[in-house]
Chain A
Amino acid sequence: SSSDYMYINNYADYWNTPQSFQVLFDTGSANLWVDSIYCSTQACNAHTKFNPQQSSTYSANGHTFYLPYGAGSLYGTFGYDTVNVGSIVINHQEIGLSTNEPGQNFVVAKFDGILGLSYPSISAGGETPVMDNMISQNLLSANIFAFYLSRGGQQGSVLSFGGMDTNLYQGQIYWTPVTSESYWQIGVHGFEINGRETGWCSQGCQSIVDTGTSALTAPSQLIGHIMQAIGAQESHYGMYMVDCSQLNNLPTLSFVISGVALPLAPSAYINQHYQNGHQFCSVGITPTYLPSRNGQPLWIFGDVFLREYYSIYDRTNNRLGFASAA
C-alpha cells in the first residue's frame, strides 16, 4: 500500500534468437545494460541473463564499465546487438552486459537491466544511448518521448516514443528549456508553499527530472524548512512522518518553472503505509546534499512529481514539457 514505486516496461528483445528482458526506463542515466551470463552474483542469479552466444547479431567491443546508481552499482562489458524496444528495432545498439552486481540491492529489483534515456554526454564509456540511435536511424516520427505514470494500480503507466498521447494529460503543456544537455535538467525559478513564494529559489535552483528515482528530492538546506511547513517529524533512516489525521491540513507545494506554478497536493507527496493494522504516513521527500553542477541548489523530480505531471522530453528542441496527468 505504499506509493514508493518504480516503473518498469514489458521487455526489450535482443535478436537473434530473441531474448527478452524487463528494463527500467531511466531518464536519470544514459546507458543500456542487462544482466548477463558473465555475472554469477546473487543479484544476477535472481534475473534473466543475456547470453550473447545465443545471438548471431551480437558483437563484443571489449570495453568495460562501472555504473553507480546510488541504490546499487555494477561492473560490465560492452557489446553491440540489435535491440527491439516496443517494436522499434535499433541496429548496432551498444549494450552493457553485467559481469558483477555486488550487494543485495539489485537482488530484489524487478528489472533485468536499465535503459537510460538522458543525453549521451553522461553515458559511461561514451556509448551511444538508445534514444540517440533511434534518432540517427530515423526510427521516430518525432524526436520525442513522454511518460505517463499511473497514480493507481500496477498497470496503466505508458512510455510513448515519437510523440505524446493527448488522452493521457489534460490542459496546457508548459515547456521549459533544458539547462544542461546531460541529464534532463531544468531551471526552477520559485518554490511556493500554499501559494506563497518562499524565495528559496530566488537565486535559481536546478532540477533533474528522473523517472529512475521514486522520491521528490529537495536541497538539504531547504529540507528542514519544508518539513517544518508540513509539520513532519524525522523518524528513522532519514524518513519524515506526519500524523495521518492531518492529511487534509497539509500544504500544497508548488514549483515555479518558466513562469508557471506547478502544484503538488499533499496526496501527491504523502505515502500511506499499513502495518499490523496501523496506518503510517511518510513524506515522499528526501534530501540531497549535493548541489547541481552550476552550484545552484538541486531538486530531483522523481516519480512523486511525475505521477502528477505528464512529462514530455523533446530532443529536437532540448526542452521539457509538463501537463497535468489525466
Chain B
Amino acid sequence: GIVRIPLRKHKSMREALREKGIELPYQDPALKYQPDEF
C-alpha cells in the first residue's frame, strides 16, 4: 500500500546562482509564509 517516489538532489537556487557568479542578497526565508504581507 505504499507508493515510493524516488527524489533527486539538486543544488538550491541560491547555490546554483552563486556558481554563476550571482549572489542573492539575504532574503528572509519566512517571507514564503507571509504572502499577504509580501
Contact = CB atoms under 8 A, between A and B. Distances in A.
Nearest to A72: B13
Contacts of A201: none
A86 B5 contact: yes
Interface in B1-33: 1-17, 20, 22-33
Interface stretch (A63-71, A169-177, A245-253): A63-71
A160 B1 contact: no
B32 to A, nearest CB: 4
A5 B17 contact: no
B29 to A, nearest CB: 5
A104 B20 CA distance: 11
Interface in A151-182: 153-155, 157-165
Given A105-B24, A288-B29, A150 B9 contact: yes
A25 interface: yes
Contacts of B12: 4-6, 71, 214
Contacts of B2: 141, 160-165
Given A238-B26, A300-B29, A71 B3 contact: no
Contacts of A32: none
A158 B7 CA distance: 5
Contacts of A287: 28
A217 B29 contact: yes
B13 to A, nearest CB: 5
A163 B31 contact: no
A238 to B, nearest CB: 4
Contacts of B6: 9-10, 155, 157-158
Nearest to B2: A163
Contacts of A158: 4-7
A62 B26 CA distance: 35
Interface string A269-301: 000000000000000001111100000001010
Given A213-B32, A290-B33, 12 more contacts: A9-B6, A28-B32, A28-B33, A88-B3, A105-B13, A108-B16, A110-B16, A160-B5, A163-B1, A214-B14, A215-B29, A236-B23
Interface of A: 2, 4-10, 25, 28-29, 66-72, 85-88, 104-106, 108-111, 122, 124, 140-142, 149-150, 153-155, 157-165, 183, 208, 210, 212-215, 217, 236-238, 286-290, 298, 300, 302
